[in-house]
Amino acid sequence: MFKTLQPLILASRSPRRKRLLQSVGIEFRVEPSPVREINEGAGTPEELAAGLALLKAESVSALFPHFWVLGADTIVVFQDRILGKPVDRADAAGMLQILSGRTHEVVTGMSLINGAGGVRRSGTVVTRVAFKDLSRGEIDAYVRTAEPMDKAGAYGIQGIGGFLVRSVEGSYTNVVGLPLCETLEWLTEAKVIEPA
């Protein structure tokens, strides 16, 4: 659907972000950033996500200054508490219990950098997600699938975890890990891609 006009790097090891970009025909290479994800820091969750996305993009752009580099970081927030990736099954179950029957926010920070051209663009997209009331059996069964273990907030909306979600207000792909609409707008405006 889109063709790539300039070399692009995705500074992420997320298979979900990779699949989203591939789904619209964009050609890119993957160069994961060595920046360690943190779940706390000064500022709002939006500032934290945007700051981490920028650090990821900058670290890769320093190695590939003539490429466009897209960095992203997604966090799950409930009542100003950031829920990162669970450390073990008990942690995953605890996160799901917190989110059960409640609405939380998924915040993705994005940065697009071209080191040679000195171009930098950063921003965030926020989506509100409402969970159904979960029974202890549903939580335990979902945790046993191991799907929650590498995902912020301990769930994957695009997988088995879709059964947890009652409603989504905002970008669905943001909850998956990359707001596709906004990403394509940024890449088109920067003339990195165009409709095929």
Active-site residue list = 73
Distance from C-alpha of 35 to C-alpha of 83, rounded to nearest angstrom? 18
CA 63, 66, 67, 72 torsion: positive or negative? positive
Listed in sequence order, the residues at least 6 apart from 99 whose beta carbon sits closer than 8 Å to its beta carbon are 76, 78, 83, 131, 153, 155, 164
Alpha carbons 95 and 154: distance in angstroms, whole number = 7
Token representation of residue 39: 């779940």
φ/ψ of 184, rounded to 5, equals -65, -35
Residue 60: phi and psi, rounded to 5, are: -80, -40
Q: Kindly tell me the burial class for residue 151, based on how many C-beta atoms sit within 10 Å of its own C-beta (0-12, 13-18, 19 or more).
A: buried
